[in-house]
Structure formats: structure tokens, C-alpha cells
């Protein structure tokens, strides 16, 4: 009945090239959802299909599983693709009985309403395409390998050569690491106003600045050293750029410095950007850096609030006189480009885009020159955005998530035009550092955007066509690790930085036969 449907479905799955082992049995299902029922369908599959397969995976019944949903704004034959991989034919044949046993053990099916599962499916789905058993040869399956450990929450990594890197530790130092010998050395000469270890006394500030649950705790929280990037002409000038949280008495902000790297020391250190004003609070500094093809330095700055209860009448991210909650564009020496967008009188002239809550990841598509960035929501609201000059990304007037302060109501600001995200998740991902893959180990990933996530320790692959995200895949669902950044070496090798006390640099390479 669905023969032509299945052919197209299988063709699509082959196009996005999900990794598979030799003789792996792949069962692929496609779901088309009736209008208005997307939330119900995703709830059902996240709380039943995914939950069943997670337990089955732990029991060794299934090899892996993926749930992929299409972009809401992009029409396609299927809204959800479900892929279950079995190691053997026997495992696949026993799947239904095993799932029934797991369901009986775990209790009733979770639905948003009281109707039975079969009735629920009929009310929610227009059609279901079910793939037949399919085998594929190995196509460069990715595996992880720890290269370096013992880092204090690594945030970013810049390649001095293929095997030697600068690593910024959020809770530590700027360090030089040799990926072959494992030798680590601290880079001296870092500014003394670095803020990375404070004790919270919430009673000294208005409610919301510091969560009362953290009162008396000592830590870096969102503070520390952030992104580190090399000058486009580093080979001749040895200039590096570092963003970090700077402290002035009991207040903080994001600062960017430029310095010359001389052996294991920074010399001629110069502040080139300060995200005034300094304020109390240990959250959402931003700190993402990238050089674009225009030779300018782009900087992400968060709005620095933990809770919307502290939002002024004119929200920080919408206030054109406030550098917080913006993306900035400056020349390498800190001066302001003459062709920056013009917003209004008295606007901070470094501002390139506004309406930002807590953006960290920032990267350039090497094929198009376009700049992409990730942004944290509060409860959901995590986004991937295409950076556009003069754009307003909406926070807090417009968001795909909810607010931390449940009764907060932002002003309307009806005179402003907002730019929608290119992609957003319906669950919390906390996306951070991202990069476009141009290496050769995984040809099926060529030119895809890779995004690391703090929440649930996720790593995502996004296929972009004409600035539209066409397919999304979550990688390593059976081996999650809280991830701060995914980076690519000059030779195209992939490395993942883990956000842990015992932080690691993990190599992502193809599995050896």
C-alpha cells in the first residue's frame, strides 16, 4: 500500500546518510501529522517510542535509535522520521514482543488525552510510512576517543598548528596543549581582572540577581575565560583574541582583549571591547568570537540577567544604548567599522544585531561566508540563527520558549520588526559552540553544521540548504557528555570539548575496520 511512499522515505534517509554498521537492520518509519497535532505527536513519541527504545537499548535489544523532526516552516512528506537499528535479524524479529514486555513492565502508555493508543494514532497521523528491513555497508561510523583530560571546564580551542592548540578553561587558565605529547602549559600574562570564583551572598542584592538556592556557594557559575581565536594573519603577527568575564569590585561584564602570543606568555595586552555596564550577576556573558570573511571581529554578548523579574521597562536586549544582549562587530584593533548598521541616535556604534538573550556559539559558513549563531532560551527557546546586519532577534518580546519568571510580561514594542530563528528545538538543548564540517572522514556530513549542547550532553548535525535547515540528527545518543564546543582542525579533524571539572578534548573519528 505504501510501496511508493517507502521508496521515497528510504531514499530520503539515504540522502541524509545516517551511519550504519555492516549487516545492521534499519527499520525506518515516516509520520505525517494532522494539522494542529504536532505537540501531541511529539509528546507521544518522546514519552513512548523513544522511552521504549532507550530501555531496549540498555537491555541490548536495539543497537541505536533516532527521532528526527522536520522544520515547522519547511513542507515535507514526513514531519517525523523514526529510525531503529538492530544488530541482527533475530533482534528485529523479536522486537515487537520485547517492546510489549517493556511496556507491561513500565506501565500505561503516556498520552496527552484519554483515548487509546490506536485511536490516538488515527486522530493525530495523516499517514505512516513503514520501511522494510534494510542492510547497508559501513559508511564511516563516528567513534569517540579521549585525547586530553584534566582540563577545568574547557570553553574554546584555537589551532596554532595541527597538533598544538590554545585552550581556554572557563574555570581555569588559558593553556597551550600538545595533542600528541599531551603536554599542557599555562599561558602567563592574562589580565588580573578575570572573574572566575565568587561567593554568592544573595541577601545583598535585589531578588532575582542571584538565585537564593545558590546563597553561600562559591564558584565560577557562568564566569571565566570564554572564546579564544587567532588573528587571520596570525602566522605573521602572532595576535590572539580572548573574551572573558571581567570584575570591578562586586560587578562584572564581558571584555575582549588582543595580545601577542610569545612562547607561553601574552604580551602587549590591549582591551579592545568592554560590554558596559558592569553589573552584579554571574550569568549569560556571551563571549563568542569569530572573524568573518570581511576581516571584522564579531562578538556575542548576553543580556546578563538570570531572571526576567529584573528586566527594566525597556528590556536590556532591546535598549540600543546598552551593549548587553547584542552581537557586536568591530575592527581587529577595537575601532568601529564605518559600515556597521545604523539603528537610531545614541546607539552603541559597535552593535550589529539586537534582541539576544544568551548567545555563545558563533561560526562562519566557509562556503557562503554567512555567520550563524546559537542561542540559549530559558525553558526551551533554544535557537539556531542566521546573523543579519541590523536584525532584531526578539528577546524578550518574542521567544520560542517561556520565561523563567512565570508572571513576566514584556512590553509590546510594536514599532520593531523581529527576525525568526532559522531553527529551534521543542526541548532544552542549551546549544553552545558550533562549526561547519568540511573534513573528509565523514563525507555524509560534508558542509553540515555541527552543534554541541550542554543540556543532556547532546551533539547535533544540521543539514542546511539555501539557509534553510532541511534535516536534523542527534549524534551519539548512547554516549552523551555535556559538551561546550565542537571544533575542526586545519586538516579537518573533529574535536569535542566537554564541560566538566575533569574536562576533556575528545577526538571524533571514523571507526577503524
Question: The sheet that has 174-178: what strands, in order across it?
Answer: 154-159, 164-169, 174-178, 184-186
Q: Is the distance from CB of 387 to CB of 370 less than 8 angstroms?
A: yes
Q: At 204, is the secondary structure helix, strand, or coil?
A: helix
The pLDDT mean for the chain works out to 88
Q: Is the pLDDT assigned to residue 169 strictly greater than 90?
A: yes
Q: Around Cβ 256, how many Cβ atoms within 10 Å?
A: 26
Residue 23 is predicted with a pLDDT of: 55
Q: What is the side-by-side order of every strand in the sheet holding 371-375?
A: 359-364, 371-375, 383-386, 423-424
Whether residue 136 is predicted with pLDDT greater than 70 in this model: the reply is: no
Q: Is cis: bond before 277, omega within 30 of 0?
A: yes
15 pLDDT tier (thresholds 50, 70, 90): very low
More confident residue, 163 or 478: 163
Beta bridge partner(s), residue 473: 461
Whole-number pLDDT of residue 310: 97
* Percent of the chain residues past pLDDT 90, beyond the cut: 67
Note the pLDDT of residue 22. Answer: 42
pLDDT in tens, 199-255: 999 999 999 999 888 999 999 999 999 999 999 999 999 999 999 999 999 999 999
Residue 447 pLDDT > 70: yes
Q: Over 60: is that where the pLDDT of 175 sits?
A: yes
pLDDT at 57: 83
Amino acid at each position: 500500500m505504501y510501496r511508493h511512499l517507502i521508496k521515497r522515505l528510504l531514499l530520503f534517509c539515504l540522502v541524509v546518510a545516517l551511519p550504519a554498521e555492516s549487516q545492521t537492520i534499519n527499520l525506518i518509519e515516516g509520520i505525517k501529522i494532522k494539522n494542529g497535532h504536532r505537540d501531541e505527536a511529539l509528546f507521544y513519541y518522546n514519552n513512548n517510542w523513544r522511552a521504549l527504545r532507550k530501555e531496549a537499548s540498555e537491555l541490548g535489544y536495539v543497537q541505536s535509535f533516532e527521532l528526527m523532526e522536520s522544520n515547522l516552516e519547511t513542507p515535507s512528506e514526513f514531519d517525523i522520521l523514526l529510525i531503529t537499528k538492530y544488530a541482527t535479524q533475530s533482534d528485529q524479529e523479536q522486537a515487537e514482543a520485547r517492546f510489549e514486555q517493556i511496556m507491561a513492565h513500565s506501565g500505561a502508555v503516556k498520552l496527552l488525552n484519554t483515548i487509546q493508543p490506536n485511536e490516538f494514532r488515527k486522530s493525530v497521523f495523516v499517514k505512516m510510512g513503514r520501511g522494510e528491513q534494510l542492510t547497508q555497508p559501513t559508511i564511516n561510523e563516528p567513534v569517540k576517543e579521549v585525547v586530553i583530560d584534566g582540563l577545568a571546564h574547557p570553553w574554546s580551542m584555537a589551532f596554532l598548528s595541527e597538533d598544538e592548540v590554545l585552550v581556554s578553561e572557563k574555570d581555569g587558565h588559558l593553556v597551550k596543549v600538545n595533542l600528541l605529547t599531551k603536554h599542557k602549559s599555562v599561558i602567563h600574562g592574562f589580565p588580573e581582572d578575570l572573574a572566575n570564583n565568587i561567593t554568592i551572598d544573595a541577601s545583598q542584592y535585589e531578588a532575582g540577581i542571584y538565585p537564593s538556592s545558590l546563597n553561600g556557594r562559591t564558584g565560577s557559575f557562568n564566569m571565566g575565560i570564554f572564546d579564544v581565536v587567532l588573528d587571520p594573519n596570525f602566522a605573521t603577527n602572532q595576535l590572539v583574541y580572548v573574551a572573558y568575564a571581567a570584575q570591578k569590585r562586586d560587578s562584572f561584564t564581558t571584555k575582549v582583549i588582543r595580545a601577542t602570543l610569545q612562547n607561553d606568555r601574552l604580551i602587549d595586552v590591549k582591551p579592545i571591547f568592554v560590554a558596559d555596564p558592569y553589573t552584579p550577576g554571574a550569568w549569560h556573558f556571551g563571549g563568542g568570537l569569530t572573524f568573518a570573511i570581511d576581516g571584522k571581529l564579531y562578538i556575542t554578548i548576553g543580556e546578563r540577567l538570570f531572571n526576567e523579574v529584573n528586566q527594566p521597562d525597556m528590556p536590556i536586549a532591546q535598549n540600543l544604548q546598552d551593549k548587553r544582549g547584542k552581537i557586536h562587530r568591530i575592527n581587529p584593533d577595537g575601532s568601529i567599522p564605518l559600515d556597521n548598521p545604523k539603528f537610531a541616535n545614541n546607539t552603541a556604534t559597535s552593535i550589529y544585531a539586537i534582541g539576544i538573550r544568551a548567545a555563545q556559539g558563533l561560526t562562519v559558513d566557509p562556503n557562503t561566508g554567512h555567520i550563524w549563531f546559537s542561542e540559549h532560551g530559558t525553558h526551551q527557546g533554544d535557537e539556531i540563527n542566521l546573523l543579519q546586519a541590523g536584525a532584531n532577534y526578539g528577546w524578550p518580546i518574542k521567544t520560542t520558549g517561556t520565561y523563567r519568571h512565570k508572571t513576566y510580561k514584556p512590553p509590546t514594542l510594536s514599532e520593531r520588526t523581529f527576525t525568526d530563528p532559522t531553527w529551534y528545538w521543542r526541548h532544552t538543548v542549551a546549544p553552545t559552540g558550533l562549526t561547519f564540517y568540511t573534513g573528509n572522514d565523514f563525507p555524509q556530513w560534508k558542509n553540515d553544521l555541527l552543534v554541541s549542547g550542554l543540556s543532556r550532553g547532546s551533539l547535533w548535525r544540521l543539514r542546511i540548504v539555501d539557509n534553510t535547515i532541511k534535516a536534523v540528527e542527534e549524534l551519539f545518543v548512547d554516549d552523551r557528555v555535556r559538551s561546550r564546543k565542537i571544533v575542526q582542525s586545519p586538516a579537518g579533524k573533529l574535536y569535542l570539548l566537554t564541560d566538566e571539572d575533569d574536562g576533556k578534548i575528545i577526538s571524533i573519528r571514523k571507526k577503524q575496520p
